[in-house]
Amino acid sequence: MKKEYDLVVVGAGPAGIMAALTAKKYNDKLRIALVDSGKSIGQKLAITGGGRCNFTNNRPIDEFFDMVVNNNKFLYSSFYGFTNEDLKDFIRGLGLDYSIESGNDQKVYIKSGRAQDLIRVLDEKIRASKIDLYLDSKVNDIGLGAEIKTVKFNNYILNSNKLLFATGGLSFPKTGSDGSVMRLLQDKGYDIVTPRPGLVPIEVKEGWSKDLAGISLKDVLVWTPIGKRKKELIGDLIFTHKGLGGPAILKISSYINNRPFDRLIYIDFLPGMTRDQIYKLAIKDRKKTILANLKGSLPNNFTKLLIQEVGRKTGLYLLGQTTANMTRDTIDLVISSIKQTSFTVKSLASIEIATITAGGISHKQINPTNMESKLHPGIYFSGEMIDVDALTGGFNLQIAFSTGYLAGRSLAEKF
Ligand SMILES: Cc1cc2nc3c(=O)[nH]c(=O)nc-3n(C[C@H](O)[C@H](O)[C@H](O)COP(=O)(O)OP(=O)(O)OC[C@H]3O[C@@H](n4cnc5c(N)ncnc54)[C@H](O)[C@@H]3O)c2cc1C
């Protein structure tokens, strides 16, 4: 069946939904179709923030750029054109409220704690805006003609004046984002920057890390060399049966996904204390062991395994010794392992379970001021399918909504 539209949007995730709604807002005469392979809109949105939807962050928008791992300058017009404040207003306009997480992270969530509430009101708004929604409709062919653009799925051929792609990355393919449209676009001349897993746990080579599985530590300092510099950040860490996980590790993984193998990840388990301070604590009672003296500063089972490992590496018997029977040099070996232990990366977790896909359509082929293709006028992009990715904290959804807004507004104003 053939149908004619002014705009077809492929992908009903946050980027595509925002683009379609914004195009309609700026030009309500437009005939718009929104096409998605899923049985409902926003399948990935539904699982964000553990189902609570951390849709943005409460920091000033200027600080968002530091949270973007790749190609942050590309997002200048998007972030300033539709800020986190605009997104919060948009959510309120849909009849929902939001809550801001206390503490440093400043994550902003849907107040009810249910991402499904957002999906429900977005679905209602799409239908009320008279946007034609095609679900269960996997696009399997595209035409990017100068006058007429085409998408094909099931028995449909949709012709349109403008075409917007917002089909996401490759992670969590069950939510619909499987990279199929990226491959179609590659055949049409688009450069795809190799998709890589972002915000994932790290598998390490050191066997003794398995003994630590299940132990979690608060606010450790993690760093890794990147060229001549180093990337460092503070956050929580959890040891898994394969290596390292937790917020600090997920973040660092995004900086090493270009070439993860054999990279060294360094950890300072007590960044709030100097070596001297730890030393004083370690010898507080010279009749006791280091383990007993350090009780309370780190989980005891962790300190025990760390000391055991130092003992294994050096051949010294450390665990049962009172500090009176230890030299400063020997105690320093333990302190060094607290202040700097390294792990060697074996691999990153697979892209299927990654929170975000790094890589995608090269940002160099997209005009950052309006999201239009530099190769084919009338073709637009938004969201995670572009080669931009950010850290956890609501920044990736803000990218999806901001780029969707900019694309929708820019293209509507061209009619
Ligand atoms: C477990 C998890 C938790 C997350 N939590 C957060 C969070 O709390 N905060 C945050 O900021 N980010 C979070 N993210 C990241 C965030 O979900 C994504 O960055 C965001 O959904 C990207 O939006 P998008 O619209 O670009 O793509 P998507 O949401 O992936 O939407 C793309 C849509 O395109 C459709 N599609 C794909 N191919 C086709 C095709 N051939 N034909 C038709 N339709 C197609 C898909 O069905 C999908 O609905 C999380 C991700 C995961 C996996």
Q: What confidence score (pLDDT) does residue 227 get?
A: 86
Q: What confidence score (pLDDT) does residue 317 get?
A: 87
Q: What confidence score (pLDDT) does residue 320 get?
A: 87
CB 222 within 8 A of CB 249: yes
Distance CA 149, CA 135 (A): 20
Task: Indicate if 319 and 248 belong to the same structural domain.
Answer: yes
Span from the CA of 305 to the centroid of ligand 1 (angstroms): 40
Which mutation among 158, 177, 406 tests ligand 1's pocket best, with the greatest number of atoms within 8 A of CB? 177
CB 42 within 8 A of CB 14: yes
The protein residue with its alpha carbon nearest to ligand 1, atom 52, reads: 355
Task: Indicate if 123 and 253 belong to the same structural domain.
Answer: no
Task: Indicate if 13 and 72 belong to the same structural domain.
Answer: yes
Task: Indicate if 160 and 50 belong to the same structural domain.
Answer: yes
Distance CA 357, CA 351 (A): 7
With a 6 Å cutoff on the Cβ, whether 177 touches ligand 1 is yes
The closest alpha carbon to 366, from 185, 139, 208, belongs to 185
Span from the CA of 268 to the centroid of ligand 1 (angstroms): 34
Question: pLDDT tens string for the chain (415 positions)?
Answer: 999 999 999 999 999 999 999 999 999 999 999 999 999 999 999 999 999 999 999 999 999 999 999 999 999 999 999 999 999 999 999 999 999 998 778 999 999 999 999 999 999 999 999 999 999 999 999 999 999 999 999 999 999 999 999 999 999 999 999 999 999 999 999 999 999 999 999 999 999 999 999 999 999 999 999 988 999 999 999 999 999 999 999 999 999 999 999 999 999 999 999 999 999 999 999 999 999 999 999 999 999 999 999 999 999 988 889 999 999 999 999 999 999 999 999 999 999 999 999 999 999 999 999 999 999 999 999 999 999 999 999 999 999 999 999 999 999 999 9
Count of domains for the chain: 2
Q: What confidence score (pLDDT) does residue 104 get?
A: 76
Span from the CA of 86 to the centroid of ligand 1 (angstroms): 20
Task: Indicate if 339 and 364 belong to the same structural domain.
Answer: no
- DSSP 8-state code for residue 245: E
Span from the CA of 407 to the centroid of ligand 1 (angstroms): 17
Domain boundary at 348, 365, 395, which? 348
For residue 290, what are the domain limits?
202-348
Query: How big is the CA angle at 379 (ends 21 and 65), to the nearest 5 degrees?
Result: 70
Domain boundary at 348, 375, 400, which? 348
Task: Indicate if 125 and 18 belong to the same structural domain.
Answer: yes
Task: Indicate if 377 and 392 belong to the same structural domain.
Answer: yes
Domain boundary at 327, 348, 369, which? 348
Task: Indicate if 77 and 212 belong to the same structural domain.
Answer: no
Ligand 1 atom with least separation from CA of 169: 30
Ligand 1 atom with least separation from CA of 42: 49
The protein residue with its alpha carbon nearest to ligand 1, atom 53, reads: 355
Q: What confidence score (pLDDT) does residue 361 get?
A: 98
